[in-house]
Every structure is written in structure tokens, then in C-alpha cells.
């Protein structure tokens, strides 16, 4: 990694004019730029946000677009999917491509409606495999009650892709009065996690044959929009919704997602380790591999930031849903330590959780 020769201070010449845009710390893309952690954030901030600058790029999972309809807004989102291997216990790249984008729209408080999919295929990729993936996309779209309304297919030469990459965009509709986003998180909010952590990351690792043994762990990849809609209904209260923000902790895991929210809302986050749901098998595999499960990717989990007064209602509703029956209150939002995520460990000590730095598991989604 070359971290030296481009500095953060030097102004950059852009199309002839000198603009004081921040500059990245690297000269080349490294695997960590895809981690979803600190390096991804730096890349997005220094390369993308400044240059494509507009108020829609506000750090949430999607963008809210105004439409003429006075009561509704359009919510859009995009996700590129490069998971390896293409098939893993509990899902495949097709289920992932639909679920990932559906969930990004749903955590914005919107009802996902339509999906557009761009396919990049490698010469020699088996049509039979492609059909299997499209069938899973179709079944998952049906499960999520969304339609795939537009698509595009490109083919590249053998060795210029890894079988198939799928980029999905989504469109959803949101009621205008719903103020949901990282910026609305408030001190006092309870943090609910909808279920156990790390299943997706470990399931993919296992499918790569990198564990060296068999486990029973299955990815949690699933569209959560139905569960999220029920939670929003349960969160209804005078003066708005008790759910101030939602986020699906994918790449970078729960720790990175909470760190993003803490920074976005200028609040602190205090977690209670003993309440964080995790399966015994994920726990023990993480211990063996030296992974912190708080940084392992999930694809069927959601974090809710909920007004204390309504958090038991929301928790109760989540636990009735098949995707939420392990839901737990795992911590709270504080006025102290703004921008920081602190973990009260089982041993009683307090640990600072930073964003994932570098890459834990490349091509997990």
C-alpha cells in the first residue's frame, strides 16, 4: 500500500480550476476500499462525494427525491453485488441482489416497489447457472413484493469478471411526513437489533471452503421490507414515528454501521455486549478465526433507533416476525461521547468500537 505521495492538504486541479477537494490517502485501489469500513468511507468522501456534490448524497442508504405528488417522495438506492462464491448456504448472488436493494429502500422508511438490474457476465459463464440466479431473483422479488422493471446485460472476455456481477437499483415510495434517517437519531433512543449477528459473513466464508470444516451456519440474506413496515406501524405515535432511523448492518457489520450513525447524528452510542444476539456456532468460529462478530456482515438484519416510549411495542412486533424473533435491545443513544460507539463488555470493561479499518472478508456481498 502506498499511502504517502498524495496528501490530504494539497489542492487538486480539476478541469483547469483549483478546487480544495480532499484527496485520498492511496494511489491505487486496494481490497480494503471495498470493505464498507473506514477505507471505503475515505474513498467515498474524497473521490465521490466532493466531486458529485449534491444534497441528496447525505450519508443515508438511499436518496429521497421530490415528486409532484404532495404526500409522497421517491426513495432510490443502488448496490453492486460481487459476492464470491455465487452460491452459499442460505442464498446466492440473485437473492442478495434483490434483498440488498430492497432493504436499503426499506430502512429509509419507504415501501420498495421497483428494481432495475444491470448484469455483467463473463464469457463462458454457464447459462444454466445464470438461469438459476435469475430464478432466485424472481422468487426473492416475489417474496419482497417488488418488480424487476428494467435490466441491461453486458458481456466481458474470460478473465475480466468472476462469472457474474449484478448491480441493482431500487425505487420506493415514502410518505412525506416520515422523518427517518441517521440525522434524526436522538439521545435516549433505544437501539434494537432484529436478530443474531455474523451469519451471512461466516456462511460465505464456509462456502469458500476456508473454514477447513463443515458448519451448519446459513446466511440470513432476506428481504426485510415486510418486517420493517410492521415495525413502522408499531412505531406510530403522535408527532411522528418513534423509529428515528433504521439501517441494515451489511459490510463492516454492526460496529461500522453504528459508528456511521454516531457520526451522522453527533450522538454517542453505548452497547451492552451481553444483550447482542449471536449464535453459538458463529461465536465459536469467530473466536477460532480471531474475528470480532461485530464487524462481520449481515444481510437479513436491521438496526432500529427507537424513542424509548415505544421501544417495547416495536420489539414485540419484531419478535412476531420470522426474521425478527431474536430481536433484542442492544444499547442506547447518549448525549455523551458524540460520534463514538462504546461497548460495555461482558467482563465489565468499556471498549471503543471504531469503523472497520482495512478489509475483513472481501467480496462478502
Site for a second copy in 88-117 (CB under 8 A): 113-114, 116-117
Distance CA 13, CA 10 (A): 10
Binding segment (CB under 8 A) for a second copy, from list 55-63, 177-185, 196-204, 287-295: 55-63
Tell me if 26 contacts a second copy by CB under 8 A.
yes
**Closest CB to a second copy among 173 and 211?**
173
Taking CB under 8 A as the criterion, the residue among 22, 30, 308, 313 binding a second copy is 30
Closest to a second copy by CB, 35 or 267? 35
- Contact (Cβ atoms closer than 8 angstroms) between residue 300 and residue 196: no
Residues that bind a second copy (rule: CB under 8 A) add up to a total of 87
Q: Which of 8, 27, 287, 336 touches a second copy by CB under 8 A?
A: 27
- Compute the distance between CA of residue 242 and CA of residue 180 in angstroms, rounded to an integer: 10
Query: Rounded to whole angstroms, how far apart are CA atoms 333 and 92?
Result: 35
Rounded to a whole number of angstroms, the minimum distance from the CB of residue 138 to a second copy is: 5
Q: Is residue 72 part of the contact set for a second copy (CB under 8 A)?
A: yes
Give the single-character DSSP code of 39: H
- Residue from 153, 275, 284, 345 touching a second copy (CB under 8 A): that is 153
Q: What distance in Å separates the CA atoms of residue 317 and residue 227, rounded to the nearest whole number? A: 8
Place of cell 456462511: 203
279 close to 216: Cβ distance less than 8 angstroms: no
Q: In sequence order, what are the beta bridge partners of 176?
A: none
Q: How far is the CB of 119 from a second copy (least distance, A)?
A: 7
> Which residue has cell 469478471?
161
DSSP codes, 238-290: TTEESEEEEE---TTHHHHHHHHHHHHHT-EEEEEGGGS---HHHHHHHHHHT
Member of 107, 110, 148, 245 binding a second copy (CB under 8 A): 148
Exactly one of 81, 174, 247, 301 binds a second copy (CB under 8 A); that residue is: 81
Distance (Å, whole) CA 27 – CA 292: 29
| Burial class of residue 10 (count of CB atoms within 10 Å of its CB; 0-12, 13-18, 19+) | exposed
Interface residue with a second copy among 22, 45, 59, 78 (CB under 8 A) is 78
User: Is 300:221 a contact under the CB 8 Å cutoff?
Assistant: yes
Considering only residues 65, 237, 288, 352, which one is a binding residue for a second copy as defined by CB under 8 A?
65
Does 77 interact with a second copy (rule: CB under 8 A)?
yes
Q: Which of 88, 119, 291, 305 binds a second copy (CB under 8 A)?
A: 119
Among 59, 151, 240, 338, binds a second copy (CB under 8 A): 151
- Residue 211 interacts with a second copy (CB under 8 A): yes or no: no
For residue 24, state whether it binds a second copy (rule: CB under 8 A). yes
Q: Closest separation between CB of residue 82 and a second copy, Å?
A: 5
Binding to a second copy (CB under 8 A): which residues in 217-276?
none
**Using CB under 8 A, which residues numbered 169 to 188 contact a second copy?**
169, 171, 173
The DSSP H or E segment spanning 64 is: strand 63-66
Rounded CA separation 54/217 (Å): 42
Amino acid at each position: 500500500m502506498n499511502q504517502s505521495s498524495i496528501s490530504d492538504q494539497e489542492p487538486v486541479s480539476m478541469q483547469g480550476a483549483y478546487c480544495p477537494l480532499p484527496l485520498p490517502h492511496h494511489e491505487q485501489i486496494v481490497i480494503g476500499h471495498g470493505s464498507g469500513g473506514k477505507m471505503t468511507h475515505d474513498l467515498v468522501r474524497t473521490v465521490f462525494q466532493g466531486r458529485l456534490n449534491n444534497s441528496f448524497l447525505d450519508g443515508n442508504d438511499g436518496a429521497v427525491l421530490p415528486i409532484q405528488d404532495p404526500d409522497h417522495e421517491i426513495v432510490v438506492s443502488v448496490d453492486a453485488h460481487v459476492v464470491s462464491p455465487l452460491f452459499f448456504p442460505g442464498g446466492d448472488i440473485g437473492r442478495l441482489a434483490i434483498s440488498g436493494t430492497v432493504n436499503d429502500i426499506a430502512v429509509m422508511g419507504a415501501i420498495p416497489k421497483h428494481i432495475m438490474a444491470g448484469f455483467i457476465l463473463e464469457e463462458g459463464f454457464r447459462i444454466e447457472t445464470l438461469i438459476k440466479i435469475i430464478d432466485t431473483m424472481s422468487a426473492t422479488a416475489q417474496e419482497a413484493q417488488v418488480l424487476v422493471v428494467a435490466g441491461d446485460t453486458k458481456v466481458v472476455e474470460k478473465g475480466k469478471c468472476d462469472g457474474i456481477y449484478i448491480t441493482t437499483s431500487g425505487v420506493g415510495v415514502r410518505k412525506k411526513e416520515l422523518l427517518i434517517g441517521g440525522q434524526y437519531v436522538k439521545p435516549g433512543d433505544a437501539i434494537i437489533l432484529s436478530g443474531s449477528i455474523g451469519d451471512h459473513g461466516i456462511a460465505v466464508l464456509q462456502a469458500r471452503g476456508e473454514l477447513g470444516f463443515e458448519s451448519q451456519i446459513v446466511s440470513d440474506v432476506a428481504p426485510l421490507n415486510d418486517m420493517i413496515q410492521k415495525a413502522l406501524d408499531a412505531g406510530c405515535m403522535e408527532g411522528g414515528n418513534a423509529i428515528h432511523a433504521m439501517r441494515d448492518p451489511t459490510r463492516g457489520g454492526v460496529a461500522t454501521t453504528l459508528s456511521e450513525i454516531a457520526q451522522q447524528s453527533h450522538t454517542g452510542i453505548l452497547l451492552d455486549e451481553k444483550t447482542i444476539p449471536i449464535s453459538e456456532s458463529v461465536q465459536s468460529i469467530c473466536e477460532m478465526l480471531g474475528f470480532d462478530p461485530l464487524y462481520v456482515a449481515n444481510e437479513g438484519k436491521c438496526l432500529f433507533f427507537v424513542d424509548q416510549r415505544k421501544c417495547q411495542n416495536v420489539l414485540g412486533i419484531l419478535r412476531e416476525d420470522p426474521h425478527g424473533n431474536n430481536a433484542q435491545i442492544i444499547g442506547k443513544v447518549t448525549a455523551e461521547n458524540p460520534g463514538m460507539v462504546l461497548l460495555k463488555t461482558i467482563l465489565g470493561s468499556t471498549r471503543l468500537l471504531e469503523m472497520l479499518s482495512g478489509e475483513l472478508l472481501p467480496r462478502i456481498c
